[in-house]
A = this chain, B = another copy of it.
């Protein structure tokens, strides 16, 4: 059953819930999910509204225009999605393949509603996995001294394939501001720590040295500052003095793959809004 999904944020005011839900009711839509949130610090309203299109009076292509006057009056940032549309996702990978395996297995089993037209590797390691799942693999190494040139080829390829979301499945290179700007709030990465603890290089050694009793993983949107972007999902697992740095790596892989796949799923189901370096995730 097809649904429309409205993602909207605007300055808070009286009557927003009423006006949005009345718009849908007047057009004979049946609301399946109405999730809203008011951030009191920012005085801002956020909503995700999903309704069935079965008896809806407006045709799909007319909804956007019909919503324009209301949205403009509310001074809203907004997007409308349809459950039948699947975002095109490009995956980038380096040497560690557990996240790639997990994403592709879920996708193959119908658990991620997206298209995956390509996988890009700055190392050749991911090629075998890509071939197993029948997805084109592009080995595009990025020379740190000529990063922009390498990235330009990656961006070009991603755009040519109509990629909406870029997923860094333990991709090893830091992206330039140019790349980030090109896919603002549309690049999801996973960091093997409970951010903001242990950002940057070698979080396992950092965690081992500090003697923490839990380790974590963090899926987040990529911003210009490394490991500082809006957090989407985090998970942790208990460890003890018995765990060597190698054990931490192994335990972390479970967290990384589940956090990243979960974040990608939430994006594909249009459940994430970003505002001021934070996410509102309507689960």
Contacts and interface: CB of A to CB of B under 8 A. Distances in A.
A201 B132 CA distance: 33
A142 interface: no
A211 B279 contact: yes
Interface string A101-125: 1100110110100000000000000
A235 B98 CA distance: 20
Contact of A25 (B14, B108, B279): B14
Contacts of A33: 38
Contacts of A194: 194, 197, 214, 216
A231 interface: yes
B21 A25 contact: no
A206 B241 CA distance: 29
Interface stretch (A74-82, A161-169, A250-258): A250-258
B14 A17 contact: no
Given A109-B97, A281-B240, A18 B22 contact: yes
Interface residues of A, number: 66
Nearest to A216: B214
A278 interface: yes
Given A34-B36, A38-B32, A98-B109, A238 B238 contact: yes
Nearest to A15: B25
B211 A195 contact: no
Nearest to A105: B101
A148 interface: no
A254 B237 CA distance: 14
Nearest to A240: B281
Contact of A279 (B105, B216, B238, B241): B241
Contact of A105 (B105, B198, B233): B105
Contacts of A101: 101, 105, 108-109
A17 B40 contact: no
Contact of A281 (B210, B212, B233, B241): B241
A34 B37 CA distance: 8
Contacts of A15: 21, 25
Contact of A231 (B28, B106, B212, B279): B212
A140 interface: no
Interface of A: 14-15, 17-19, 21-22, 24-25, 28-34, 36-40, 46, 97-98, 101-102, 105-106, 108-109, 111, 132-133, 194-198, 210-214, 216, 230-236, 238, 240-242, 244, 250, 253-254, 258, 277-281, 283
Given A17-B25, A18-B22, A212-B234, 8 more contacts: A14-B30, A19-B25, A37-B242, A98-B105, A98-B109, A102-B102, A102-B105, A213-B281
